[in-house]
Amino acid sequence: MGKDIGIKPIAVLAKWAYFRAMERITVVTICFNNLSDLQSTCASVDAQILLPFEHLIVNGSSEPQIADWLDNQPQPSYRRWINERDKGISDAFNKGINHANGDIIHLLNSGDLYYSNQVLSSVKAFFKANPTTSWISGKIEMKRGGIWVQVGVPFDATQLNKGMRSVSHPTYFLKSAVYERVGLFSLDHKIAMDYDLLCRLIQEPYAFLPETLIRFDDKG
């Protein structure tokens, strides 16, 4: 009897810790010679009411300003960075994904912002309520004709031949295991790397989060 009493609490705690760990979010930000944009993005991350498990910055800059800021200014404990040149956007994305320790990965580009301070908490709650979902997308705010508009509808695989109009890559949140199954970004694609990934996500369980998640930087 005493042995059973000792084992059960440990099993319960282990199970609780496992499911809690499955909701850890890693934010990956790639950047190149754009310190002010990176600082805006970092401020957006730091303002979240639910802070990420980690914020990983992949700095491929040819100039020293970003590395100097990261190395010499106080940063939150969850922020890590890599200062080294890369072979382009796909390579930078892949570096971030390969170094991520979280269970959910979001690629938040330098200059882009979370639409509100509740985005990460909403995403975590959504995955917790939908544990079989492998990846999600949501709405994005961007400028069209000089006016800020919010766009985004659920992903429809039957519309892939028409491009990516229905789903915006900056709003993707993927479980890290998805990249293990479908692969990383192809270095062969300099522009359409996000479309190539989307084509490989067709068989992965998907859900749409009907909220505006990202404010898109249209400068870069």
Alpha helices in 77-209 (DSSP H): 89-99, 119-129, 176-182, 193-200
Domains and CATH numbers, the chain: 25-215 (3.90.550.10)
pLDDT tens, residue by residue, 27-40: 999 999 999 999 99
What pLDDT score was predicted for residue 81? 98
The DSSP call for residue 75 is: -
Secondary structure of residue 184 in the 3-state scheme: coil
What pLDDT score was predicted for residue 144? 87
Which is nearest to 30 in space by CA: 110, 87, 111? 110
* Rg value, the chain, Cα: 19
70 close to 56: Cβ distance less than 8 angstroms: no
What pLDDT score was predicted for residue 185? 96
The mean per-residue pLDDT over the stretch 131-141 comes to: 97
Mean pLDDT, rounded, of the chain: 89
pLDDT tens, residue by residue, 179-192: 999 999 999 877 78
Cα–Cα distance measured from residue 112 to residue 41, given in angstroms and rounded to the nearest whole number: 6
pLDDT tens, residue by residue, 73-125: 999 999 999 999 999 999 999 999 999 999 999 999 999 999 999 999 999 99
Count Cα atoms within 13 angstroms, Cβ side, for 130: 15
